[in-house]
Structure 1
Amino acid sequence: MEVTKVTAMLDLIVESTRRRVKEIDSSVPVEERQIQSLEKSIRTRKQNGVNPVIAEIKFRSPSEGLIRSYEDPAGIASGYVDAGCAGISVLTNPEFFGGDNSFIEKIRPQTAVPVLRKDFVVDEAQVRETAALGADAVLLIAAVLGEELGGFIEYTHGFGLEALVEVHDEAEMENAISGGARIIGINNRNLKTMKTELETTRRLGPLAAGRGVTVVCESGITGPADIREMRKCCDGFLVGTYLMKAEDPAKALEGLVCA
């Protein structure tokens, strides 16, 4: 796709999200519960000598089209847990990623690992909604939130949730760290061009060294060889398309965890 068309797609996703925000029922109570730490899960697995992988449930995307025919998200999640995932990422954007909020509600009671809600957050109501759904963490995209990022991180932490803050360049990395991010996801896919390069994590990963943050490599992992190559640049990985395209996602995940 041409850059202008891709940029327009990002704008469409954000526009669509703003329309969805208007439908959020803010009267749904946020129940007090024990939040499971995604950061701790990643760190513990790394210390134990296994590759921390946040395994994603994603049925389609603008760049890939249909990734996998729909099947029970709870079943996929159960397989991921058995294969040793550090957490489960759940796409909830319906229009562009085939996601649904109900996926989290189906998965949460059946898994003991942290659940990350992955969507295009543009409003604080979505953070509150994430807490009400039962997720433990939420994705915040630096390129979408800009100067508001720090406020969103603080608001997220106020609910006891963790924020996985997604960055793609040096300026976004500094914005995330100065804004209080504790988990930073380096997206190897450029949201303006949709081009994926693992070089992005190689370049940005060292900038976070010694700064008290946990670094997650996002996008572009195509097998165990990529895990072995990239783990020196990050603490963990978020993998979606590779797993969801596999005949047996859980078996594919096991290969990454043990690579």
Structure 2
Amino acid sequence: MILDDIIRATQLRIREPEAATEMDCPLSLKEAITSVQDRRAVIAEIKFSSPSEGMIRERTDPGEIAEAYRKGGCAALSVLTEPAFFGGRPEDIAAVKSAVSLPVLRKDFIIDIRQIQETRALGADAVLLIAGLLKGRLGEFVCAAYAAGLEPLVEVHTPAEAAMALASGAEIIGINNRDLRTLEVIPGTTAALAGPLRNAGRIVVSMSGIRGPEDIRRLAPHADAFLTGTALMSAKDPKMMLEELVCA
């Protein structure tokens, strides 16, 4: 199973976090989403490949991509730092932060508490925590993220994971329309899970399977923000594609 391969590769990358250094105050992903008016709050993702798509785009300067996304009107950025399957690099976060003044979500497979401090040391503002991977440890990781000055975005795909996310205290919950174990995209997942999360006052982000404006319009009644990467990274003009999503 591809997810098991990713986790094994991730375990080999885990190191003791570097000593804390003076860093800028993190930007708020939550505020970036909730402050958007008269357009869609899109979190634009930088990733060069994926297990489901293979190579999406030849590797170029992440900072240049981030600047194009900023001009396209995104609310925040997501940066894949997993190298073996997604073509990411940890240093991509610094490149993006140097180029734009937008919140940056680190997307990776966080399975060890040491990766939380590492994420902050890299300069990220928020961190992805996958409920299906962390299970009973989710609350611990959410607390560790807040303590490190990071906003956790907890990813869920099932009703049980959504309940775990609510119990964890995370304020931003991402509903992944893709089943990470089969890589199948199930379009109705966001609509099926969003109700209780939004009723509880949580920010809901719909993730995966967003290919065009029509997907944004379909998901809009159920989500506060939309995270997309493949559609943007595979577009001939990512900025123009992002403008279409933002204005959907």
Q: Does TM-score exceed 0.5, indicating one fold?
A: yes
Code of the aligned partner of 1:254:
E
Contact 2:47–2:86 under 8 Å retained in 1: yes
CA distance in 1: counterparts of 2:21 and 2:171, whole angstroms: 23
- Structure 1's consecutive aligned runs of 4 or more residues displaced over 3 angstroms after TM superposition are none
Distance of 2:246 and 2:108 partners within structure 1: 25
Residue 184 of structure 2 aligns with an amino acid whose one-letter code is: K
Any stretches of 5+ residues in structure 1 without a counterpart?
1-7
CA-CA distance at 1:209 after TM superposition? 2.2
Distance (whole Å) between structure 1 residues aligned to residue 232 and residue 11 of structure 2: 30
Identify the residue that residue 224 of structure 1 maps to in structure 2.
Answer: 213
Distance in 1 (alpha carbons) for counterparts of 2:194 and 2:44: 20
TM-score by length of 1: 0.94
Match of 2:19 among 24, 28, 31: 28
C-alpha separation in 2, matches of 1:192 and 1:30: 37
Residue 183 (structure 2) pairs with residue 190 (structure 1): no
Aligned counterpart, 1:5: none
1:162-190: CA deviation from partner (whole Å, max 9, x where unpaired): 00100001000010110111100000001
1:79 alignment partner, SS class: helix
Q: 2:28 aligns with which of 31, 37, 47?
A: 37
TM-score by length of 2: 0.98
Q: Which residue of 2 aligns with 1:148?
A: 137
Q: What is the Cα-based RMSD across aligned positions, in Å?
A: 1.0
1:250 to 235, 239, 242: 239
Asked if the contact 2:26/2:125 (under 8 Å) is kept, the reply is yes
CA distance in 1, matches of 2:220, 2:19: 40
Among 93, 96, 106, the residue aligned to 2:95? 106
Deviation at 1:191, TM superposition (A): 1.1
Q: How many residues align?
A: 248
2:49 matches 1:60: yes
Q: Which amino acid aligns with 1:162?
A: E
**Is the contact made by 2:47 and 2:79 (CA closer than 8 Å) also made in structure 1?**
yes
Counterparts of residues 1-259 of structure 1 (less than 5 Å): 8-21=1-14, 24-45=15-36, 48-259=37-248
CA contact (8 A) 1:30 1:128 kept: no
Separation (CA, whole Å) in 1 of partners of 2:114 and 2:149? 15
How far apart, in 2, do the equivalents of 1:26 and 1:129 lie? 5
Whether the 8 Å CA contact 1:31–1:132 is kept in 2: the answer is no
Deviation, structure 1 residue 227: 0.6
Report the CA distance between 1:32 and its aligned residue. 4.2
Would you say the 8 A contact 1:143–1:172 is kept in 2? Answer: yes
Q: Is contact 1:131–1:159 with CA below 8 Å preserved after alignment?
A: yes
Counterpart of 1:29, as a letter, is: A
Displacement after TM superposition at 1:124 (Å): 1.1
Q: Deviations over 1:96-148 (max 9, x none)?
A: 10000111111112211100000000011111011011110000000110100
Partner SS for 1:105: helix
Matched-pair contact (CA < 8 Å) for 1:142–1:167: yes
For residues 191 and 36 of structure 1, what CA distance do their matches in structure 2 show?
Answer: 28
Report the Cα distance in structure 2 between the residues aligned to 1:30 and 1:162, rounded to whole angstroms.
19
Unaligned runs of 5+ in 2: none
Do the aligned residues in 1 keep the contact of 2:47 with 2:88 (CA within 8 Å)? Answer: yes
Letter paired with 1:9: I
> Which amino acid in 2 is paired with 1:139?
L
Separation of aligned partners in 2, 1:25 and 1:94: 18
Equivalent in the alignment of 1:3: none
